[in-house]
Structure 1
Amino acid sequence: LESTVAKEKMKELSVLSLICSCFYPQPHPNTIYQYGDMEVKQLDKRASGQSFEVILKSPSDLSPESPVLSSPPKRKDASLEELQKRLEAAEERRKTQEAQVLKQLAERREHEREVLHKAVEENNNFSRLAEEKLNYKMELSKEIREAHLAALRERLREKELHAAEVRRNKEQREEMSG
Structure 2
Amino acid sequence: MASTLSAYSDKIREMSVLSLICSCLATQPHPNTLVQYEDMEVKTLNKRTSGQAFEVILKSPTDLSPERPQSLALPPQKKEPSLGELQRRLQAAEERRKSQEKQFLKQLAERREHEKEVLHKAQEVHNNYSKMAEEKLNYKMELNKENRTARLNAMKQRLREKEVHAAEVRRNKELQSELSG
Give me the TM-score of the superposition, normalised by structure 1: 0.56
CA 1:169–1:59 in 2, change beyond 3 Å: closer, same or farther? farther
Give the corresponding residue for 1:49. Answer: none
Asked if residue 102 in structure 1 is aligned to residue 105 in structure 2, the reply is yes
Q: What SS does the corresponding residue of 1:36 show, helix, strand or coil?
A: strand
Q: CA deviation at 1:137?
A: 1.0
Q: What is the CA distance between 1:147 and its match in structure 2?
A: 0.5
Corresponding residue for residue 128 of structure 2: 125
CA deviation after TM superposition for structure 1 residue 16, in Å: 5.0
Tell me, what secondary structure is at the counterpart of 2:124?
helix
* Among 50, 56, 62, the residue aligned to 1:18: 50
Residues in 1 aligned to 2:171 and 2:81: alpha-carbon distance in whole angstroms: 131
1: distance between equivalents of 2:124 and 2:98?
38
Instruction: State the alpha-carbon separation in 1 of the partners of residues 56 and 163 from structure 2.
Output: 124
SS at match of 1:18: coil
1:137 alignment counterpart: 140
Deviation sequence 1:105-151 (CA, Å, 0-9, x none): 11112212222232233223222221221221121112111101110
How do residues 48-67 of structure 1 correspond to structure 2 at under 5 angstroms? 57=58, 60=61
Q: Which amino acid aligns with 2:118?
A: V
- Structure 1 position 36 matched with structure 2 position 55: yes
Q: Is 1:88–2:88 an aligned residue pair? A: no
- What's the RMSD between the two structures over aligned residues? 4.2
Q: Match of 1:100, SS?
A: helix
Report what 1:163 is aligned to: 166
1:71 is displaced (CA, Å) by 9.2
Q: Is 1:172 the equivalent of 2:170?
A: no
Uncovered stretches (5+) of structure 2, i.e. residues with no partner:
1-34, 36-41
Q: Distance in 2 between matches of 1:121 and 1:107?
A: 21
1:149 aligns with 2:152: yes
Query: TM-score, normalising length from structure 2?
Result: 0.56
The one-letter code of the counterpart of 2:173 is K
The Cα shift of 1:159 comes to: 1.0
Question: Which deviates further from its counterpart, 75-84 or 152-161?
Answer: 75-84
1:127 and 1:62 map into 2 onto residues whose CA distance is 89
| Percent of residue pairs bearing the same amino acid type | 59
Q: Which has the higher contact order (CA 8 A, sep 6+)?
A: 2
